[in-house]
Amino acid sequence: MPDSDVRAHLKNLYAVSDDPWNTCSSPYERGKFAQTIACLPRPRYKLGLEVGCGVGALSVKLAPRCDILIAMDCTDQAVRTALAQNDLTNVSFVVGEAPRDWPDHPPDLVILSEVLYFMTDAESAGLALRLVHDCTAQCHVVLVNWLGDTGKIGGAVAAQRLIAQLAASHDHFVAANGAQFRIDLLARRGTSLAVA
């Protein structure tokens, strides 16, 4: 989890490049990260979890909005680079695979940026269970997905899959839907997207 083909593919990508998606240098990524941060409904979160943090380019932007941020990636080379590049006192970069690995304490923010389309249906379903049972009731979930060809399932399909898996428990809001990427927010039904 992710399955062994996907894991091998990710490992290969990080073997030939420190930053396979140019997340630290691309103006497109910078703009997308700024929009992601702008979509966060609360000014501050106690415990953020960023799944699939890569080399930490978005983590750097999330850190000032979280008391503690756990930035997790299943590819150890990505985490090594993130650790070498960043010295953020409130961020823990860890090797881990969602949904199997999860923080000991329930996060009140979960960021899923460009990671859902690496997951199988079963992994996405397992992630939905984590979001229901292992997050605070006030938790905000942010989905960021590229709409171009991923070579796997599309970003929109991956987002809709998780949204459907959470339909019984979470309200869904489209925060941004452009030509290149979309951002979706999910919050437990009956809770607010406003400042808690």
Question: Interface with ligand SAM by CB under 6 A: which residues?
Answer: 2, 10, 21, 23, 51-54, 57-58, 72-75, 78, 97-98, 113-115, 118-119
Name the amino acid, one letter, at 68: I
Residue with Cβ nearer ligand SAM (132 or 196): 132
Q: Phi/psi at 118 (nearest 5 deg)?
A: -90, -10
Please list the residues that pair with 183 across neighbouring strands: 144, 176
Closest CB to ligand SAM: residue number: 52
Q: How far is the CB of 116 from ligand SAM (least distance, A)?
A: 9
Residue with Cβ nearer ligand SAM (78 or 183): 78
Q: How far is the CB of 163 from ligand SAM (least distance, A)?
A: 18
Residue with Cβ nearer ligand SAM (104 or 190): 104
Residue with Cβ nearer ligand SAM (180 or 192): 180
Sign for the CA dihedral angle at 79, 68, 121, 149 comes to negative
| Measured distance CA(161)–CA(37) in Å, rounded | 23
- Region of 56 on the Ramachandran plot (φ > 0 left; ψ -120 to 50 alpha; else beta): left
Residue with Cβ nearer ligand SAM (73 or 108): 73
Q: How far is the CB of 100 from ligand SAM (least distance, A)?
A: 8
Task: Look up tokens 């970069």; give the residue.
Answer: 93
Q: How far is the CB of 136 from ligand SAM (least distance, A)?
A: 21
DSSP secondary structure string for all residues of 96-137: --TTT---SS--SEEEEES-GGGS-HHHHHHHHHHHHHSS-T
